[in-house]
Structure 1
Amino acid sequence: MMLLPRTIKIWLPPGYNNNDSNENEIFNNNIRQQQQRHPVLYVHDGQNAMEDEDSWTGASWRLMGALTRLADHQLIGNNILPIVVLLPSADGDLLPGVRRRHLEYGDINFPFAQAHADFVANTVKPLIDDRFRTDPSPEHNFVMGSSLGGQASLHLMMRHPDKFGGAACLSPAFMPAMLDYVASTKGQDILRNKNGGCPKKIYIDIGGDMPSSGKSKDDDTFVRVSPIDVLDHLTPVHGWNPGYFWLDTQLQRQVTAMKKLLDKGGIEYQFRQYPGARHNERAWALRIDKPLQHLFSSNSDKRP
């Protein structure tokens, strides 16, 4: 199936190409760099991940700053920052009136979603591994996305478990076929690493209307998402960004269903709740360190 062309950006971590003026230091750095292989993070909705001006809401996940701060605090495994592959989704329609993103990030039985996952695994990843100093093993290649991008991330990992070792799903929009696949024997075998691949790291979070503790208690304070958040409207790129304040609340049911399936299968994962959190890039930026630590820290807890 033909997919529309797109420009894929690559973020290389600090020190990947060192331009130190000292020739001996350059030589030593080059030797170290030739020996050092980087993990890789593939990001759905990549145009929203790094730079505010590139994001369709005028705010980004601030991913670059989060990664470098985690490295400064030695919270990245082996203190080796990943190469980040930014997979865009904002431009172009596959069909008139139908956003490309809704098809490519759609349910796992959608032909366009399957084609997109295969494109990333079979075209993009080999190209990245060929051109950059990556560690191509699945235990060092991860996927991340929010909303439909969260579903696309889990889909990519499960469709190509031999190439990807983890998926971070922020406020994910899980759909019926995805839930059915996770419940199936094949899906459970993949997630439990039954066939000898690498153990899978899974991160899921959700915001929206919920008790402040994230648990159902009668005496707890219930937090609702405000329909208007002034800070969402003060971006230099977009003056009007309501932030989809209702979406995290609507997605809670599917997330709960996914948790039950993972629990039933005895599958390890990390789950976090953010009472009152909105469904937009600014909200995800406030907690972006959590999925990054889970994917890249060798000692991260599987559950909070």
Structure 2
Amino acid sequence: MRYLLIHAQFGIVLLSLSITGGASAQTSDTLFFSLDMNNPISEGWLEPDSEMVGIRGDQPPLNWGTTYSAFDDDKDGVYEVAVPFNLNADSLLISFKIKVDGAHNPDDGWQAGRNHDVTIYKGMENKLSIAWEDRPPQPPVTITGNLEIVRDFQGENLLPRDLFIYLPPGYEESDQHYPVLYMHDGRALFDASDIGQEWKVDEAAEELIQSGDIEPVIIVGIGNTQDRIDEYTPSKQVWRHELERVSPAQAPSFPGAYAGDYKSTEGDTIRFRTKADTLYAMIPGGDFWQSLILKARHNFYLPQAGITFGFSLSDGKVDKLIASKPSIGGKGDMYGAFILNKVKPFIDQNFRTKQGKEFTALGGSSLGGLITLYLGLNHPDVFSKLLVVSPSVWWDGRMIIDEVKQLPGTTGQHIWLDMGTAEGEGAVDNAKALHRALAEKGWSARNLKFIIEEGAAHNERAWAKRVPDMLRFLFATEN
């Protein structure tokens, strides 16, 4: 069955929230979080009765798109949650942040600063206590080689962002011109001191260039902004589903009149039940109940996912349901024009580049992988090589696969496509479907490299391990 409700930033995921709190299946690999939220409560912006507190992170069942909810059962300002992990080794390194789901919160409810890191160990009791105001220690600067930074680079109708420009060894001493790799999420490529993790692109490039494995190359990291989701998505995702009641109401009065099962035209069922005058929902494929907030007559809100449930009546009985979320995304073409008309001309004018398409590559991960493939396929006259790393194929009903299917044939571009097996529900299947679509259009092993990395998660550490092979694929020296 296709999961209906939660299309998060890194894929289709299921919320995990129970009425009584905690995880449904605690194992020896469980990490018990205690989150001290007394500061934001005393500051007045966290509303415990209407907002959800929890964890987001980079290892399943955590992800960066959906909050894994915690609970403050004794109302002391300390929220607790047990997160069960699946360890395939003796230990697992997890990056995470506290997240508050609500409206008008500082930094959209994200804990400030870099990501926190914690290592859990198999067969041991893993506990972590952290306060909202806690910050991880400042890691050292890890820049290797010659990196120039252009601050607040301007683009029309887009927010300014930094450009991070890696120059190969010997650049200053020569008059040579170089191929260029443009990459999204530039802040995460070269220096772990900023966000806590990095791709280690500079370290890999330095070693491979000096060993002669790849030709010298300029690498341009284009920083993201708070509009990352909009800029990295080619289409506006309209999220609205109609469902009809398929079971009787729990009670004739509020809130039992809304309770029962509702089925969509796609065959997915959402269940509702009540407890202590609160309405709870169970999403398709899930086994946890999530509490809803009454926002208006017949309208309830699920803060963890930003979903509004609007119930409609017929003859005084609740018989239909509209599940909706605000539309997001769709600035991909505008962002592409920024790269083509602003970033690339600036780089070509100020650095010694080889400007032909055969010398120009584009790359990124997650939504950055999605926008890389979209822009690359639409501009094969500019980019001949594409790094499509852990792409968010799930976006807008897998629209990127439809884009490929509409091609008259292969563009002849060289494409690297990969995915880790620990990147979330359906990620590998989506990557395989994208690979099949490309192969059916004429790509072959000669110009399409497809990697499924066993045990790899959706984070910079996993991508850093694959960077040397990515650079060899794009810029290997001729033997």
SS in 2 for 1:277: coil
1:35-89 superposed Cα distances (whole Å, 9 cap, x missing partner): x21000101111111011123xx1101000101111122111xx3x211111111
The answer to whether structure 1 residue 177 and structure 2 residue 399 are counterparts is yes
The answer to whether structure 1 residue 112 and structure 2 residue 247 are counterparts is no
Deviation at 1:9? 2.1
Correspondence 1:24-173 to 2 at 5 A? 33-34=174-175, 36-55=176-195, 58-76=196-214, 79=215, 81-89=216-224, 91-92=225-226, 100-108=227-235, 111-173=330-392
User: Sequence identity, in percent?
Assistant: 34
The answer to whether structure 1 residue 261 and structure 2 residue 437 are counterparts is yes
Q: What TM-score, normalized to structure 1? A: 0.70
1:125-169 superposed Cα distances (whole Å, 9 cap, x missing partner): 111111110000011110111111111111221222111111111
Change (3 A) 1:277 1:4: same
* Aligned amino acid, residue 188 of structure 2: N
> Which residue does the alignment assign to 1:8?
163
* Aligned amino acid, residue 84 of structure 1: I
Deviation at 1:108? 4.8
CA RMSD of aligned residues (A): 1.9
Deviation at 1:7? 1.7
Aligned pair count?
A: 226
Question: 2: CA distance between counterparts of 1:114 and 1:298?
Answer: 33
Unaligned runs of 5+ in 1: 19-32, 93-99, 194-198, 209-224, 226-245
Change (3 A) 1:181 1:120: same
Contact 2:234/2:330 (8 A) holds in 1: no
* Aligned amino acid, residue 271 of structure 1: F
* Aligned amino acid, residue 234 of structure 2: D
More helix by share: 1
SS in 1 for 2:213: coil
Q: Which structure's CA Rg is the greater one?
A: 2
1:167-193 superposed Cα distances (whole Å, 9 cap, x missing partner): 11111112322111111134x3xxx23
> Which residue does the alignment assign to 1:250?
426
SS in 1 for 2:391: coil
Question: 1: CA distance between counterparts of 2:385 and 2:235?
Answer: 17
Deviation at 1:299? 5.4
Question: 2: CA distance between counterparts of 1:185 and 1:165?
Answer: 16
Deviation at 1:107? 3.3
